[in-house]
């Protein structure tokens, strides 16, 4: 009888510690959905590696995350819905591109433009200048076949 009480108490402590770790993990990754964000749309020709939850960075600082990835059936472009912090206003000539890491992680890098007009923060805003991801294998294959030789055709 004494062992079963000890095992039950130890199990309760383990569950409590796991709950504390889960709470800290959720607060550290900002998955709580605090409602202090606005949605922004981007149209890309290729979104390889981007999925819901991928980071959106500006100058290397996380300003948001990808909420949804879908396809426009009329233009055959990938539609990426991003959630961006309310305190970040972007000029209307800002640029977004997909960066693929060497180990497989991808994110969207936003470069702020120099325009005076801002993208609307009411959820109707769209980044007009986008660049899709680069396929590393295709890039290496073009160099191997001699098509990417930098202008030296001898």
Map out the domains of the chain as residue ranges.
1-31, 37-142
Spatial distance between the Cα atoms of 54 and 81, rounded to a whole number of angstroms: 11
Nearest in space to 130 (alpha carbons), one of 92, 94, 106: 94
Cα-Cα-Cα-Cα dihedral sign, residues 28, 34, 36, 38: positive
Nearest in space to 125 (alpha carbons), one of 154, 93, 87, 77: 93
* Residue 96: strand, helix, or coil: strand
- Do residues 99 and 107 touch, judged by C-beta distance below 8 A? yes
Alpha carbon 93 to its chain's center: 20
Q: Is the pLDDT of residue 32 over 70?
A: no
Q: What is the pLDDT of residues 79-130, one digit of tens each?
A: 999 999 988 899 989 999 988 877 767 899 999 988 899 988 888 888 898 8
pTM, to two decimals? 0.65
Spatial distance between the Cα atoms of 38 and 64, rounded to a whole number of angstroms: 9
pLDDT given for residue 84 in this prediction = 92
- Do residues 46 and 132 touch, judged by C-beta distance below 8 A? yes
Q: Report the mean per-residue pLDDT for the chain.
A: 82
* Residue 144: strand, helix, or coil: helix
Q: Is the pLDDT of residue 41 over 80?
A: yes
Other Cβ atoms closer than 10 A to 48:
14
pLDDT class for 133, splitting at 50, 70, 90? confident
Q: Look at strands 55-58 and 61-72 and give their pairing.
A: antiparallel
């Amino acid at each position: 009888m004494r062992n079963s009480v000890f095992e039950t108490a130890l199990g309760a402590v383990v569950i409590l510690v796991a709950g504390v770790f889960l709470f800290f993990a959720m607060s550290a990754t900002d998955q709580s959905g605090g409602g202090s964000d606005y949605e922004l749309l981007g149209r890309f020709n290729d979104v390889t590696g981007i999925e819901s939850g991928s980071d959106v960075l500006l100058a290397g600082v996380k300003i948001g995350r990808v909420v949804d990835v879908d396809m426009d059936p009329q233009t055959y472009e990938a539609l990426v819905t991003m959630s961006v912090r309310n305190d970040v206003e972007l000029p209307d000539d800002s640029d977004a591109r997909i960066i693929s890491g060497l180990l497989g992680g991808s994110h969207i890098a936003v470069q702020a433009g120099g325009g005076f007009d801002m993208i609307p923060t009411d959820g109707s805003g769209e980044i007009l200048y986008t660049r899709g991801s680069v396929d590393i294998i295709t890039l290496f294959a073009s160099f191997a076949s001699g098509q990417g030789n930098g202008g030296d055709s001898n």
